[in-house]
Amino acid sequence: MSRNTDPAFWTSARKHLIRYGGVFEPLIIDRAQGSFVYDADGRAILDFTSGQMSAILGHGHPEISEVVTHHVRNLDHLFSGMLSRPVVDLASELARIAPGNLERSMLLTTGGEANEAALRMAKLATGGWEVVSFAQSWHGMTAAAASATYSAGRKGYGPPAVGSFAIPVPNSYRPAFERSGEADWRAELDYAFSLVDQQSTGNLAAFLAEPILSSGGIIELPTGYLAALKSKCEERGMLLILDEAQTGIGRTGLMFACERDGVTPDILVLSKTLGAGLPLSAVLTTAEIEERCHERKFLFYTTHVSDPLPAAVGLKVLEIVQRDGLVNRAAEAGNILTGKLRDLQQRFECIGDVRGRGLLLGMEIVADRESKQPAPELGARITRRCMELGLSMNIVQLPGMGGVFRIAPPLTVSNEELELGVNILERAIAECV
């Protein structure tokens, strides 16, 4: 009998846990190491999502363990009015590696909390209160972040924040605007902002965007889009906030995804990858914006603002990523993995599209490539079979799209582990179609 079926465990889980979305895997995870998690039977499961798209150094990295152990014993948590060396050192290192003149940081815990702080700063700095984001966005579950989240969670909770607007995502696989058979994202962006202008009361504060929309189906903004978006914001006195929760700290083959476009946002938000799976986020902005907000009495006290333990972890994460060449490794491994997925695409008609950058890739499952008709049941079957065969995959299902696998193994993943993952995926698809 499998230890994963422990009746006492599942009875207690059903009785005492609040279900927060989706369905729990029928497994009890006992430990995690490197690119694998292990269930109660000791079975190894290759983790192709880096936990919650976060563990870029894999699980149980020895240097991270040492930092956590040291700081739990010596310097873990402080009153928010106190500072420690790890906090100032991490802020200094972020200023050194960040694009442009983003030289001031605030250290928090989650991406939702950091987006909340970023939006609060933007509103105070501009004097506006209207926020625009993408129609397939995910920025968090706190109030303002949830109001700027459109991929899920909008029904049943009452009205979002007043002044919340959405524009279409430039999806090159399923373009809404075309010219001569090609996606025309410039026309789409112009039209989108003409609608925003018609709805705005003249109080636009910010545009909040991911360079690659992850929960939105791994939709990558086309080259040139970010620059055009920044211009739209500048024309209206808005700030551009980039949420690099999943794209930051090397995952796309650059330290920050926005570097590809040469665009520096007014505010940059980091989370997930910054803590490599531990709760740490950061809001980065310019000295000018920070000074303006400070003069206007910016307030954002939270229990774990500027905590030394997670700051020390973030500092070690940045050290390892740079020392071990993991930014280049993400680009190299991403090219290998993309090539293998495209080979599968040639074999299986149900793989409609392969997209993304570095080790943040998407694979869209459809009924057939000609119709691009969504095939949610097939995607769900493939996901289940992958898990049965020892591969943890994540698929997002959105209206009007096929199920999209979000593939994001750790930056430390080996070529052999990439090969194993693709072989399992190939077998799962072959058995399910």
Residue positions annotated with a catalytic role: 138, 210, 243, 246, 272, 406
Structure tokens at 423: 């072989």
First-to-final CA distance of the chain: 30
Confirm if 38 and 27 have CB atoms less than 8 A apart. no
CA 175 to chain CA mean position, Å: 23
DSSP 8-state code for residue 216:
T
Q: What is the DSSP string of 67-101?
A: HHHHHHHH-----TT---HHHHHHHHHHHHHSSTT
Those residues whose C-beta lies under 8 Å from the C-beta of residue 183, and which sit 6 or more positions away, are 170, 171, 172, 175, 177, 222
Q: Which residues of 281-294 are buried (b: 16+ CB within 10 A; e: fewer)?
A: bbbbbbeebbebbe
Consecutive H or E run containing 420: helix 415-432
- Rounded CA separation 332/337 (Å): 9
- Amino acid, single-letter form, for residue 203: N
Give the Cα separation of 308 and 314 in Å (integer): 10
For tokens 């590809």, the residue is 260
Print burial letters for 344-358: b (CB count within 10 Å at least 16), e (below 16): bbeebebbbbbbbbb
Cα Rg for the chain, rounded, in angstroms? 22
Structure tokens at 337: 């993995």
Number of H helices, E strands in the chain: 13, 19
Among 94, 20, 38, 48, which residue's Cα sits nearest to residue 322?
Answer: 94
Comparing C-alpha atoms, which of 50, 19, 23 is closest to residue 383?
23
Type of residue numbered 90: L
